[in-house]
Amino acid sequence: MNSEEILVGHSVIKIIRGDITQERVDAIVNATNPSLRPGGGVCGAIHRAGGQAVTQDCRRVMAERQPLVPGEAVATVAGDLKARYVIHALGPVWKGGKQGEPEELASAYRNSIELADRLGLSSIAFPSISTGIYGYPLMPAANIALRALRAALERTRTVREVRIVLYDPDSYEAWLAAAR
């Protein structure tokens, strides 16, 4: 089968190819920037597909707090997306791997899962955080993410399905290899 499922306790992690803006899940995770601006990459696509409601809710959140630090995650409305929430997670910018990037990347996944669980959600879709514009190498990123997701899913109350939605073939193959 040209996809992969990993069972973790009562939950499942599915590695799939696709466009995350088309996912029908409780929460879509966005690979954001510190100030929750629309930006480019998957972030630009999520803001475009979600519409003004998402961008405006990001502005409301930012009016009440400091910029995100790498590893943090915050929730907003999902506007026109087929989801209830967007969880905006900030991954690290790759600086060679010895400046805390692995821990920050793991935190971005863990904090997103914990936030979804606090919101009582059951399904959540992630992009490959930090491996585009932020330059994190794919294989280590996928390995760190899967380890963090497995650990987080051991402790969730409501989250049952995690979908990793890979847009390009290289990312998809790297995540499949990491999963296997």
Which lies closer to ligand AR6 via its Cβ, residue 37 or residue 150?
Answer: 37
Q: Strand order in 85-89's β-sheet?
A: 4-8, 11-17, 161-166, 123-126, 27-31, 85-89, 73-77
Which lies closer to ligand AR6 via its Cβ, residue 138 or residue 159?
Answer: 138
Residues 6+ apart with CB under 8 A from 1: none
Q: Give the phi and the psi of residue 87 in degrees, each rounded to 5.
A: -105, 115
- Residue 90 and residue 108 in contact, taking contact as beta carbons nearer than 8 Å: yes
Which lies closer to ligand AR6 via its Cβ, residue 14 or residue 155?
Answer: 14
Dist CA 30 CA 45 (whole Å): 9
Dist CA 153 CA 146 (whole Å): 10
Closest alpha carbon to 125 in 142, 112, 140 = 112
Any contact of residue 178 with ligand AR6 (CB under 6 A)? no
Any contact of residue 76 with ligand AR6 (CB under 6 A)? no
Any contact of residue 40 with ligand AR6 (CB under 6 A)? yes
Closest alpha carbon to 140 in 89, 90, 106 = 106
Contact mark string toward ligand AR6, 152..171, x via CB under 6 A:
-------------x-xx--x
SS3 91: coil
CB of 12 to ligand AR6, least distance (A): 19
Any contact of residue 107 with ligand AR6 (CB under 6 A)? no
Binding region for ligand AR6 (CB under 6 A) out of 74-82, 114-122, 127-135, 152-160 = 127-135
Binding region for ligand AR6 (CB under 6 A) out of 37-45, 75-83, 114-122, 154-162 = 37-45
Any contact of residue 50 with ligand AR6 (CB under 6 A)? no
Which lies closer to ligand AR6 via its Cβ, residue 120 or residue 135?
Answer: 135
Residues that bind ligand AR6 in the complex, under the rule CB under 6 A:
19-21, 31-33, 39-43, 45, 91, 127-134, 165, 167-168, 171
